[in-house]
Amino acid sequence: MDVQLSEDHLALRETLRTFVDREIRPVAREWEQAGRYPTEIVEGLRELGLFGLTVPAEHGGLELDLVSMALVFEELSRGWMGIAGVLGTHSLSCRMIAHHGTHEQRARHLPAFATGERRTGLALTEPGAGSDLQGITTRAVRDGDHYVVSGTKTWITNARHADPIPVLVKTDPGAEPAHRGMSVLLVPTDLPGFEVSRDLPKLGYKGPETCEIVLDEVRVPVDALLGGEEGHGFQQVVSGLEVGRVNVAARAVGVAQEACDRAIRYAREREAFGRPIAEFQAIQHKIADIATQTQAARLLTYWAADKVDRGERADTEAGMAKLFASEVALEASLESMRVHGGYGYSEEYEVARLYRDAPLMAIGEGTNEIQRTIIAKGLLRDHTAGGPM
């Protein structure tokens, strides 16, 4: 791919940086520490049309390419990674509905999702099933023109603001292999038996709510079955995870870049032994390593995004981007904290928030251990086929 961003990409990045500097940076630390929901910032995202990132233009969305989407999540995460979470699963689910939904489902949901009038999320993980999605136990039993859905989902972002929310269920628990018995239902959240049971306490990733939801014999209309045919849910979800991993990689790049920028700024201001600590070789080496690794993560993320945009299979590339970028974010936030010394350990400095936010990217959207398995399988598959990556 061409590693130079287009004029449209550069203009989008400038718009986002202006928004982040004006609307997010001045309040991020205070609101994050207070556990305050960023209502005003979310309204700003609506005004920019960002809830329509992955919604086709025919339904009122921006229909941006994935490199543009990566830029959005990177820039928002530089200001406050939690804000990117408000758009994350919403954008993934919009893309999933756009690609796999029936004509009626697209027309019913996507226009309101594009404007942010309504929002959505994605309910996959369960208390006993995270990386192994085929191990879910949430069931949907057909009863006339409804499915009766029972189960528990956890770590659900936007759970209190989503309507409807795509829920991965088993419509045929006895299917072999298990993925053939899985489907996605677009569950209206105002139905009897649907309950957001609690908000989960988190080390970082503050701002958006992350919840557990309980479905107790929720009667969901049959026309809520994504795509209108049972048994395709696992493939529908997996097709969206490539995009989700690029999203997480871009967030990690944003956190790493912010950690790097703050380390540079502090090193130039802080003096020790009569001169700025930026003049000490030990500090210079830390900054050089952080900056180099961050740029490598950025290019890897854009590369994966570009391959998805070209319609090519990109599970290996998206896995590489997510794995590498999230590890860089962890390292960059820690090294930036060390450059800051004792102040880096204080909640009065933003680097402490970066340090708390970074681990999410190594765990979310498939742990990095799972990513290594996906990458290895992809490489072995391509090598067997005799083709280059």
Active site amino acids: 365
Query: Taking the mean position of all CA atoms in its chain, how far away is CA 261?
Result: 23
Alpha carbon distance 51, 24 (integer Å): 17
Helix (H) or strand (E) holding 226: none
Q: Nearest CA to 266 among 341, 347, 332?
A: 341
Alpha carbon distance 249, 255 (integer Å): 10
Cis before 388? omega within 30 = no
Residue 35 identity (one-letter amino acid): G
Structure tokens at 357: 């936010």
Residue 254 identity (one-letter amino acid): G
CA atoms within 13 A on the CB side of 119: 22
Alpha carbon distance 363, 378 (integer Å): 20
Report CA Rg, the chain.
Answer: 21
Count Cβ atoms within 10 A of the Cβ of residue 135 and give its class: 0-12 exposed, 13-18 middle, 19 or more buried. Answer: exposed
Query: Taking the mean position of all CA atoms in its chain, how far away is CA 231?
Result: 25
Alpha carbon distance 37, 26 (integer Å): 15
CB atoms within 10 A of CB 196: 16
Token pair 């080496």 is found at 285
Structure tokens at 169: 């269920």
Alpha carbon distance 148, 133 (integer Å): 20
Structure tokens at 127: 């208390």
Alpha carbon distance 191, 236 (integer Å): 24
Residue 79 identity (one-letter amino acid): G
Q: Nearest CA to 328 among 303, 356, 292?
A: 292
